[in-house]
Amino acid sequence: MTKLREPAVFQMDNISFYVDLDRQTLRQTDNPDNEISFIHQMQDMGDHYMLAWDAKTKNAAANSEDGEPLIIPQLSLLDPEGMSEKYRMSVSEMAGKSDFEIIVDQEALAARQNGILPQIDIAGEKFIFDLRLQELRHVEYFFPVISLKSLDLTDDGWHYEAFYEPIMKQVVQLDPKLTEFPDGIIKIKMPNEIGLDPVGTARIYGMSERELLRRHPIQKELKAEVIPLSETQVPRLIRQNREQLQREHEQITRKMKPGKRPRF
């Protein structure tokens, strides 16, 4: 059994904070609800962060001009072991790099900034994701095209999903009255726009590219999750439809049953 690693601790103004790499925050050890964000509440200076410290709230000052300026080391210095494990980079490889350069793949970022659109594997076929046109295009044939409008957002809003026919490479709608599993149909699930193309999302929606990338780095090998129909709501739908057909059959049978014949 793998032993859980203790989070790194940083002392600031005689107060202890856990270094939370997943959330990129400092969390007060004796009051975890008190959290300071490296992304939203500190100024990234490249090789360190600047924090406007409010000793009363033990957090960032509401007005940066009113706070005491404190220098906060990079995450790679606060927790080198954790950063190395999380971003699969040796401590020596991280040396001289900013947190942004460690968290965000710089080659992938340069390619995207030079106009190369992201790609995603859907059931073994590569598709280009074009956020501007709101579509996925086959890499080799540029057809068929999958429109984002044909996909459904999950309840949490972080993924798209749809029923999919791999041979035709098209999203399909299932017959709501089906009583058998449709041949060759699967369900696919993929990230939303932020997960597919954070750079394009930031540009189109006027968001801070750097901040968005810190929270949602570019994924180099995007792949849609393939979900067998047996693990969806389809079996329940088939069962309900079969039960309904059985009830209808029984009703028809009762109506057609002959009455008692008269005796002669």
Each residue of 33-80: pLDDT tens digit?
999 999 999 999 999 999 999 999 999 999 989 999 999 999 999 999
DSSP-derived 3-state class of residue 233: coil
Same domain as 181, residue 129:
yes
Q: Is the dihedral of CA 190, 114, 76, 88 positive or negative?
A: positive
Residue 103 maps to a domain: no
User: What is the predicted pLDDT for the residue at 263?
Assistant: 62
Same domain as 83, residue 117:
no
0.75 surpassed by pTM: yes
Number of structural domains the chain divides into? 2
Count H helices and E strands in the chain, helices first.
Answer: 9, 18
User: What is the predicted pLDDT for the residue at 253?
Assistant: 83
Task: Out of 94, 122, 153, pick the residue that ends a domain.
Answer: 94
* Domain extent for 206: 110-239
- Residues 115-169 have pLDDT tens digits of 999 999 999 999 999 999 999 999 998 778 999 999 999 999 999 999 999 999 9
Q: Is the pLDDT of residue 259 over 70?
A: no
Q: Is the pLDDT of residue 1 over 60?
A: no
Q: Is the pLDDT of residue 204 over 60?
A: yes
